[in-house]
Amino acid sequence: MHILSRRVGLRSERGVVLLTTLILMILLAAIGGSRTILSRIDLFISHNLRSGVQAFWLAQAGAEVGKNWLEANLPGETFPITLGPQALGEGTYTVRIEELDTRRYRITATGIGAEASRRVVEEVVALPPFTPQGAVTGLGAGLQPDFTDPATSPAGSGHRIPDFSIDGRNHALAGGLSARCPDIAPFAVSQIQAQTALIDAQHSLKQRIVTRANLFCRADGNSTTFGVCTPGLAWVRGPTLPPRFDPLPCRPEEPTCFLRLDLSAAALRATAQPAHVHLPTTPNDRGPFTPNSASMPFASLLSDAERGQLQSALAEIQQQTARLEPEQVLEITQHLEDGSYAYGTAAQPRVTQVQADPSALRMGNNAQVTGAGVLLIPRVVLLNNVTFQWQGIVVILGEGALRAVGPNVCGQILGAVLVQDQASPGQKLDFDRVQRRSACTPLAVNYSCGAVARALMLLHRTVSWTERFDA
């Protein structure tokens, strides 16, 4: 009996060991399996995370492409606009751009990465709400214009035809005229007093040009003993025995009234006689102030809404400039003379600021000054014997002014000029002394909506930014 119970006990212990071993093996297998499953889950999560990050950066890239597209194509486009899908790396992005209101745009960019992962980034950007109504826009009491060059217009001799130009026709960035945006007036002002001052100065200029034409020119186009009859003056005087226009006080409806002289006529800049045959080529086929018609006045008066928008735009331009990092703003701190100076390019426009100072800053002595973007002028800048080329917006602030103090000033401002006129002494914008020289084209302000839009994009701000994980 004792032997039998011992054998039964041994078999029982062996069974327990076997069962325990099986349980341990099952547990170890379960642990191993779970580790494998967890590893696979980790890999799956890592893969998804990588795909999601990839899709996010594709969407971000698309948003930047959208902003670049606005900079290059903004004026004259019809919204909404869809760009893409465009392949990039291992995925694609698609961009949709919508116009919300004046100078505010929603950019929705969808990035699709590996395994069809999707991310959507939505960014609303706002530009300063500056929509020029004039090639030169004045905010304040007036530009104090007289359009007079005393050096070439002594008393009694009338006035030569100005060689500078304020052209409200829309110009392309590459040159020539463009139908992308409508033409605007040469001047736009915020106060009726400023409009009256401009129109009075224009009327006075017309009267003095007619006086000179009648004094210097004969009916056959030859000069008198009083002075040289240029082709433009000959056109003003006319081929008939009595001159075409009379400089005496008159009413505009009278056929011979000097007020009927068209200062936008290309014949004023004729290169030879007869004037109507020898006209300058496009876009130089213009008079001093272009265009000028019943629908496009010489000096447009801004509405209350346009005036409020202009004030907001000017404030935002200054605020956004102040928010830029120092390395993002170029500074003009000293006179620019005898050399070449560049402040941004058409491909890479910049924000440039003239250093504020009570004394005037000179640009001259055969200097070549070029730039693109936004130029802020808070002090008096004097131009003399200089070529000045700027593409974008020139903003004259506070006590600032831009004046040609000599005849040899060449180049153009391609874009628009915004003048904050605080009725400070002196003229804020004075090109009257500019004269045509064979070596260069006289200084002009040529409106370009494309140049304005590119400049404003430098000061855009993000109103809102959101990310979505599906679309």
Asked if residue 139 and residue 115 are part of one domain, the reply reads: no
Structure tokens at 469: 């994980």
Does some domain include residue 466?
Answer: no
Does some domain include residue 470?
Answer: no
Confidence of residue 266 (pLDDT cuts 50, 70, 90): very high
Structure tokens at 452: 């304005």
Asked if residue 405 and residue 296 are part of one domain, the reply reads: yes
DSSP secondary structure letter of residue 272: S
Which residues make Cβ contacts (< 8 Å) with residue 216, sequence separation at least 6?
158, 223, 224, 226, 227, 228, 229, 233, 237
Report how far residue 248's alpha carbon sits from residue 251's, in angstroms, rounded to the nearest whole number.
Answer: 10
Does some domain include residue 27?
Answer: yes
Buried b (16+ CB within 10 A) or exposed e, 114-141: eeebbbbbbbbbbbbbbbbbbbbbbbbb
Does some domain include residue 168?
Answer: yes
User: Across all residues in the chain, what is the average pLDDT?
Assistant: 88
Segment among 1-10, 169-178, 230-239, 408-417 with least mean pLDDT: 1-10
Please give the biggest Cα pair distance in the chain.
160
Segment among 73-87, 228-242, 317-331, 368-382 with least mean pLDDT: 73-87
Does some domain include residue 464?
Answer: no
If one counts every other C-beta atom within 10 angstroms of the C-beta of residue 410, the result is 20
Task: Report pLDDT for 471.
Answer: 47
In terms of pLDDT, which residue wins out, 172 or 49? Answer: 172
Task: Report pLDDT for 269.
Answer: 94
Element (H, E) at 297: none
Taking 3-state DSSP, the helix, strand and coil percentages for the chain, each rounded to the nearest 5, stand at 30, 30, 40
In terms of pLDDT, which residue wins out, 7 or 121? Answer: 121
Element (H, E) at 342: strand 340-343
Segment among 143-152, 243-252, 308-317, 443-452 with least mean pLDDT: 143-152
Does some domain include residue 376?
Answer: yes
Asked if residue 88 and residue 108 are part of one domain, the reply reads: yes
Distance of alpha carbon 325 from the chain centroid: 20
Q: Which of 126, 144, 177 is the last residue of a domain?
A: 126
Asked if residue 79 and residue 148 are part of one domain, the reply reads: no
Asked if residue 144 and residue 106 are part of one domain, the reply reads: no
Does some domain include residue 156?
Answer: yes
- Indicate if the pLDDT at residue 11 is higher than 60: no
What is the domain extent for residue 79? 2-126
- Indicate if the pLDDT at residue 226 is higher than 80: yes
Q: What are the distances in angstroms from CA 249 to CA 204, 252, 258, 292?
A: 11, 10, 8, 22
Number of domains in the chain: 2
Structure tokens at 52: 């999601």
Structure tokens at 411: 């180049």
- Indicate if the pLDDT at residue 24 is higher than 60: yes
Confidence of residue 13 (pLDDT cuts 50, 70, 90): low
Asked if residue 163 and residue 15 are part of one domain, the reply reads: no
* Contact between residue 70 and residue 36 where contact means Cβ atoms under 8 Å apart: no
Confidence of residue 29 (pLDDT cuts 50, 70, 90): low
- Provide the β-strand partners of residue 70: none
If one counts every other C-beta atom within 10 angstroms of the C-beta of residue 469, the result is 11
Burial class (CB in 10 A: 0-12, 13-18, 19+), 192: exposed
- Indicate if the pLDDT at residue 250 is higher than 50: yes
Asked if residue 400 and residue 251 are part of one domain, the reply reads: yes
Q: What are the distances in angstroms from CA 8 to CA 5, 305, 361?
A: 5, 107, 115
In terms of pLDDT, which residue wins out, 362 or 144? Answer: 362
Asked if residue 160 and residue 228 are part of one domain, the reply reads: yes
Instruction: Summarize the confidence of residues 296-320 as an average pLDDT.
Output: 92
pLDDT above 90 covers a percentage of the chain that reads: 66
DSSP string, 77-105: PPSPEEEEEEEETTEEEEEEEEEEETTEE
Give the three-state DSSP class for 374. Answer: strand
Task: Report pLDDT for 371.
Answer: 97
- The alpha carbon dihedral of 71, 72, 77, 79 has a sign of negative
Structure tokens at 112: 């699709």
Instruction: Summarize the confidence of residues 35-41 as an average pLDDT.
Output: 54
- Indicate if the pLDDT at residue 105 is higher than 90: yes
- Indicate if the pLDDT at residue 6 is higher than 70: no
Q: Which of 126, 154, 177 is the last residue of a domain?
A: 126
Distance of alpha carbon 342 from the chain centroid: 17
Asked if residue 107 and residue 146 are part of one domain, the reply reads: no
Asked if residue 230 and residue 100 are part of one domain, the reply reads: no
Question: Please, what is the Cα angle at 202 between 200 and 204, to 5 degrees?
Answer: 70
Q: Given the structure tokens 């002028």, which residue do they identify?
A: 377
Task: Report pLDDT for 220.
Answer: 94
Pairing of strands 104-112, 91-101: antiparallel
Segment among 57-61, 99-103, 212-216, 355-359 with least mean pLDDT: 99-103
With CA atoms as reference, report the closest residue to 68 among 130, 125, 120, 118.
125
Instruction: Summarize the confidence of residues 129-149 as an average pLDDT.
Output: 86
With CA atoms as reference, report the closest residue to 402 among 380, 420, 434.
380
**Which of 278-287, 308-317, 385-394, 456-465 reaches the highest mean pLDDT?**
385-394
Asked if residue 155 and residue 99 are part of one domain, the reply reads: no
pLDDT above 70 covers a percentage of the chain that reads: 88
Question: Please, what is the Cα angle at 309 between 379 and 185, to 5 degrees?
Answer: 75
Task: Report pLDDT for 41.
Answer: 52
Instruction: Summarize the confidence of residues 425-438 as an average pLDDT.
Output: 84
Task: Report pLDDT for 72.
Answer: 79
Q: Which of 107, 126, 145 is the last residue of a domain?
A: 126
Does some domain include residue 469?
Answer: no
Task: Report pLDDT for 445.
Answer: 97
Task: Report pLDDT for 49.
Answer: 53
Asked if residue 215 and residue 178 are part of one domain, the reply reads: yes
DSSP string, 410-465: EEEEEEEEEEEE---SS-SEE-TT---BTTBPBPEEEE-HHHHHHHHHTT-EEEEE
